[in-house]
Structure 1
């Protein structure tokens, strides 16, 4: 059996020099302290007639010991960072460095801890991404596989209803893949816009019509209200279609059977007097809790509302609203959850003349064309 190595004795980790704000001052104090100690010991030795052969070695040993003690406290954060970095290389992002000084080493330790927090958050996001994507893809794949196996085995006939169910799962898979491609564009910083003039009324009518067959069993009704009727917007049509389509998917998913989904568009001005166009998608679902109103725009986040008794809500991917915020940000606009008496209302505010450099002041909620004020976020 190999004998266990005896641990080396550790000097105390004292940090009396933390009160100084510069490492150069600390080094100066360290040199001065060791010199003063050596001179003092030499003086004591000469007064007690110990002679140089005894006094000099004693002065050197005690000065080196003092140097080791003080230097250990100065460099302790560097050793902690080395140990933490080695742990991070092995996937452990929980290590933190004790930063007690205000000098360059202390500032480095603080920056290291911030970096460790960011790495831990990124690693958590990556793990959640893999888990959520795996879960979201597994559900339609499993359903589609079961339907196809039943068709092959002759358990169910290849009638219109069965094929429509398989088609629905395929469409869901396509939508998930599209979401993931959009996320990859977000990560890559793809922000190219093809800005054109868009008639808001026709655009919203087309968006509602293209999704009117989704969840047909719910018998949902769509109401498009645009004021003025000839309202136009300078924006990228495909990116804006992403915004409205994802908002409609969210509204359809949470709407009760026979519910009404409103698509409102109106003009207004912001705090700087610039013209803006506001788009609102309002449903009659269970609504969004105040604590979730900002979180739902994060990737893979879902609202924690409870569905009404006797009705279940289908889980979303948690990606759509994150893509909405990304596309709106590309247009220098804003998106937020607005107050609504019934259901959920999500408001998108875009500059009417297309993307412009963001102004420093906060944007005020534009007024409705009828003179009333929209609900505040």
Structure 2
């Protein structure tokens, strides 16, 4: 923004206190008419003819109208300039929103949109950097292993092949998360609801987590005979992502705990707890946002032992909200505990809260 544009942006706007643009137009019309009439009357009193005073009155009225209307139209000009800057990739421009009328509301909404676009652009850039890093690490390791085997430097022992397999599994997990993210962006998916045994379900997911994180033990506490109505695959996404985060951020050698119990409304409550550093209260609102890698050390945040894209908990929240449920961080004296609540009738709850997804 140039110095002249900055000066114009700071000029006073006398009509800003008025709450309706219709009233402002009325004021402009009245001031214009009164100015023209006064010039004609004063000119007649001074002995000038109407054919002389009327053009002068009209010109002065237009000048007064320009001064008054400048404040009405300047937000629109600022929005035009800011929109052009956004088209060039500059999301830092904001509009001076001091008016109380419809134009002022539009300016406020424009500033909110600009802030959202700036945040989305920041997340996009961070996401590209994170995914590039996540892809480069296993690809480089896999390339090194296969190159050594192909050159005969390293024999193709079971240990070497297992190392290569671990890297391909890591790549597979990343691709799966990106596909899940594409489903989130495409909108709410249909639920395949079915009743299943919760104890067997938790045991299966816990076994997968232990296989994917050697050295991590998952302790389960599920009442016998507990059953739930949900989309088993989606709920598998939720629990698997929570266990993955807990395993990566909990201290080595310490177990991760999974508990399940009936909900107060007849639904299902799942909790995953670890003994890691936990999530600071200031980060708990952001930890479920996609690509979130804030100051905290959980959910793909800084401090993970093997990195992360910050997608796991965002996908978990999407799958829970798809059921009309709730996921949040629970206060605990040690470590981190995340609670998932699935209602007794996920289809009805999801339909009632479809606007949240």
In 2 relative to 1, CA 350–18 (structure 1 residues): closer, same or farther, beyond 3 Å? Answer: same
SS in 2 for 1:197: strand
Q: Which runs of 5+ in 2 are unaligned?
A: 353-357
The equivalent residue for 2:276 is 285
Runs of 4+ off more than 6 Å: none
Distance between the aligned counterparts of 2:228 and 2:161, measured in 1?
Answer: 40
Of 285, 295, 299, the residue aligned with 2:286 is 295
The residue aligned with 1:155 is 153
Give the match's secondary structure for 1:357. Answer: helix
- Give CA-to-partner distance per residue, 1:97-152, whole Å, 9 cap, x none: 22222222222222222222222222222222222222221211122112222222
Paired residues of 1:233 and 1:353 also in contact (CA < 8 A): no
Q: Match for residue 223 of structure 1?
A: 219
**For residues 224-254 of structure 1, what are the alpha-carbon distances to aligned partners after superposition, in whole Å with 9 as ceiling and x for unaligned?**
2112x10000011111111111111112212
Aligned to 1:251: 246
Q: Summarize the alignment of residues 150-189 of structure 1 with structure 2, pairs less than 5 Å apart.
A: 150-189=148-187
Alignment match, 1:262: 257
Give the aligned length.
Answer: 342
CA distance in 2, matches of 1:95, 1:118: 12
The residue number in structure 2 matching 1:368 is: none
Determine the structure 1 residue equivalent to 2:57.
59
The answer as to whether partners of 1:246 and 1:324 remain within 8 angstroms in 2 is yes
For the residues of structure 1 that align with 2:248 and 2:44, how far apart are their CA atoms?
92
1:130 and 2:141 correspond: no
Q: In the aligned structure 1, how far is the partner of 2:141 from the partner of 2:37?
A: 85
Contact map agreement 1:328 1:350 (CA 8 A) in 2: yes
CA distance in 1, matches of 2:173, 2:105: 47
Between stretches 314-323 and 180-189, larger displacement belongs to 314-323
State the shift of 1:302 in Å.
3.8
1:241 to 226, 236, 255: 236
Higher radius of gyration, 1 or 2: 1
Q: Using a 3 Å threshold, how does the CA distance of structure 1 residues 109 and 169 change in structure 2: closer, same or farther?
A: same
Structure ranking higher in helix proportion: 2
> Which is further off, 139-148 or 183-192?
139-148
The verdict on how the C-alpha distance between 1:16 and 1:40 changes in structure 2, with shifts beyond 3 A counting, is same
Q: Cα gap change, 1:222/1:38 in structure 2, threshold over 3 Å: closer, same or farther?
A: closer
Could you tell me how far apart the structure 1 residues matched to 2:250 and 2:71 are? 63
Match of 1:320 in 2: 312
**Shift in Å, 1:155:** 2.8
Please list, as runs of the form range in 1=range in 2, the aligned pairs for 1:195-210 lying within 5 A after superposition. Answer: 195-210=193-208
Structure 2 length-normalised TM: 0.87
CA distance in 2 between counterparts of 1:21 and 1:258 reads 64
Deviations 1:244-274 (A, max 9, x none): 11111112212333322222111131xxxx2
The 3 A distance-change label for structure 1 pair 350 and 291 is: same
Pairwise CA distance, 1:336: 1.7
The correspondence of residues 271-282 of structure 1 with structure 2, limited to 5 A, is 274-282=265-273
* Structure 1 gap ranges (5+): 1-6, 361-377
Partner of 2:87: 89
Take 1:348 and 1:148, find their aligned partners in 2: how far apart are those partners? 42
Distance across 2 between alignment mates of 1:53 and 1:265: 91
How far off is 1:207 after superposition? 1.5
Q: Over aligned residues, Cα RMSD in angstroms?
A: 2.6
- 2:103 counterpart of 1:105: yes
